[in-house]
Structure 1
Amino acid sequence: MTGATEAFDAAEREMWDGQAEAYAGSFARLCAHPVEALLDAAGVTAGAYVLDVGTGTGAAALAAHGRGARVVAVDADAGMVEAARARGVDARIAVLPELPFPDGEFGAVAGNFVLNHVGRPRAALAEVQRVLRPGGRVALTLWGGRNAGMELLGRACEDAGAVPPEWLPRLDPGEDFDRTAEGVARLLADAGLAEARCVGVGWEHRAGVEEWWSGAAAGIGNVGRVITSQAPATVVRIKQAYERLSAEFADGQGQLVLPCTALLASARVR
C-alpha cells in the first residue's frame, strides 16, 4: 500500500467521522435514488442472503430487507453504523478491503456509492468476491457523468475565489480507473468477475437550497473539504455565490431540480 493510498484512506475516515447526521440531512436522499436498481442488478429477492457494503445510514439494507432478504450491513464509520442500527439494520463496522466474514458467505453483495471512497478498489473487489458464493452477484453504484448539484457547489467556490487546499487527497494513479461505463465494466471483468456490465442511471434530485448547501458546508465530499478549508470571509462569499447561482435550478416552489447521473455496475462470481 502506497503513501498516497494511506493518505486517501485516512482522509476518508477523517471526513466521515461524526458526519452521519449531516449526511442524513443532505446527501442521503440523493444517494438513495438508485437503490432499487442496485438491488435488481444484484439479484436481491426474498430469501437471499445479502451483504450491503458501505451502508451509510442504511438505505440499501432497508430496501433489501423490504424485499424479504436477510441482510447484514457494514460501514467504515462508527457513526454511520450507529445510525443504520437505529433504523433496524444489522450493521457492523468493517473497512474495505477487509470484511469479517467467511468465504462464500453471501448470495449477493450491494455497494451503493462505496467504491468511490476506498483507496484500493481492486483489492475491495477481490474481497467482495471472496465472501460471495459461486454464482453470487455483486452490484455497485459510483459517481460518473454529470452531477449538477456538485457542479453548482464547485462553481460557487470558483466564483468566490476559493483555492483548493494542497492536501486534498487523490487516489493513487496506480489504483485509479476509467470512470466511464466501459471503464468500470472492464474493472470488474479484470477482477475475474463474469457477465460484467455497467450502465448509466439518470434522475433529477430535488432538494431545498439550504438542504443541498448543508452537506457541503459540513465538509462532506471534496467540495465540502474545499469549503471548510477556507477563511470565514471566503465561506461567506461561497454561500452568496451558491445562492445566486442556484436560481437557475429553482422550480419556483422552493426546491432545486438537480440532474444527476451515476454508474451502475454488476457482475457474477464464476
Structure 2
Amino acid sequence: MTNAEAYDRGFAQLSSHTVGPLLDRACAPRLLDVGCGTGVVTSAALALGAEVTAVDADPGMLELTARRHPYATVRQAVLPDLPFDDEEFDAIAGNFVINHVPDTAGALKELHRVLRPGGTIALTWWKSDEMTATNVFADAIAAAGVPYEPPARPFTGNDTPRRFTELLEAAGFEAAAVDPVRWRHRVDLATWWDDIVQAGGPRFAMIARQPPETVERIRACYTRLAAPYEREGFPVCAYLAHAARSGR
C-alpha cells in the first residue's frame, strides 16, 4: 500500500466529514480544490456538477485523484504560487490545507487573486486541542516513553477564528466568518492505527521508524488510550472559514 492509499483509508476519511459544510459555502461552476489530497472534495463537487480543478503538492495524491476522477483537471501546485490566471475560479475550497502552508497571509492573497469578484472561498483546519483521533497517537508516544519532538506548527499563531478572520479581511475578502464543526469519528481502532502509521506524514512517520519492540510498546499504549472511544468514536472539531471576494 502506498502512503497515498494509506492516507486515503485513514486521514481522508476523517477529513471527509467537513466536505458537505465546505461545499455548502463554496461550490460554483468553476471550482478550485486546493490541497486536494486524494480527492474527497473533488469527488463531491463533481457530483454536484462543478467543473473542478484539483491541485496538491504530493505526486502520489495527485496520481490517485487523477485516476479516480478523469473529469477533473489535476495539477501539481504549492501555495502561495498557483499556476492560474487572475479571477479564474468562481469558488475555492480547501479542506485542511491552509494549516500546512507556512505563509498563511501570502496563501490567502494568492487565493484572492485567482477568485473572481463575487466568488466564494471556504477553508477548514483542525482545532488542535479537540483532535482526539490523532492526538491519541502523540499521547501514546509519550506514554511509551519514546523521545519525540513534534514538528513545528507555523499555522498555530493564525488558527483562532478572530485571527483568521482578520487575515481574510487583510487579503481582500469580505463577509468573513469562522464556524466550528464537530463530529464523532467512528472507526475500527486497529484499522485506524494501521492507516495512520502507514500514511506517516510529518507528525507520525517516526512511529514506523522505531525498532519493532518500540513500535509494539507505542501500539499497546495507543490501544489502551483509544479504548474509551471504541463505541462512540473519537470527538473531533474543525474550523470552517468562509468569505467572498468583493464584487466590482
2:35 maps to which of 44, 54, 57 = 54
Correspondence for 2:230 = 250
- Are 1:265 and 2:248 an aligned pair? no
Correspondence for 1:121 = 104
What do you get for the CA RMSD once the two structures are aligned? Answer: 1.8
- Are 1:105 and 2:105 an aligned pair? no
In 1, distance between residues paired with 2:158 and 2:89? 28
In 1, distance between residues paired with 2:202 and 2:183? 22
SS in 2 for 1:177: helix
Task: Report the more deviating stretch, 226-235 or 209-218.
Answer: 226-235
| Counterpart contact for 2:92–2:122, Cα < 8 Å | yes
Give the residue type in structure 2 aligned to 1:261: C
Correspondence for 1:205 = 185
Return the TM-score normalized by structure 1.
0.84
SS in 1 for 2:122: strand
Give the residue type in structure 2 aligned to 1:242: Y
In 2, distance between residues paired with 1:234 and 1:83? 32
SS in 2 for 1:38: helix
In 2, distance between residues paired with 1:210 and 1:123? 40
Return the TM-score normalized by structure 2.
0.91
Consecutive unaligned residues in structure 2, runs of 5 or more: none
**Percent sequence identity over matched residues?**
42
| Counterpart contact for 1:106–1:132, Cα < 8 Å | yes
Map Cα deviations across residues 204-235 of structure 1 (whole Å, 9 max, x no partner).
Answer: 11111122112331253444134245443322
- Are 1:73 and 2:54 an aligned pair? yes
In 2, distance between residues paired with 1:30 and 1:244? 21
2:207 maps to which of 223, 227, 234 = 227
Give the residue type in structure 1 aligned to 2:233: V
In 2, distance between residues paired with 1:118 and 1:225? 19
In 1, distance between residues paired with 2:172 and 2:208? 40
Correspondence for 2:24 = 40
SS in 1 for 2:187: strand
SS in 1 for 2:236: strand
SS in 2 for 1:33: helix
1:63 maps to which of 26, 44, 55 = 44
| Counterpart contact for 1:181–1:200, Cα < 8 Å | no
Give the residue type in structure 1 aligned to 2:240: L
Correspondence for 1:163 = 147
Paired residue total: 242
In 2, distance between residues paired with 1:224 and 1:77? 17
| Counterpart contact for 1:75–1:93, Cα < 8 Å | yes
| Counterpart contact for 1:160–1:241, Cα < 8 Å | yes
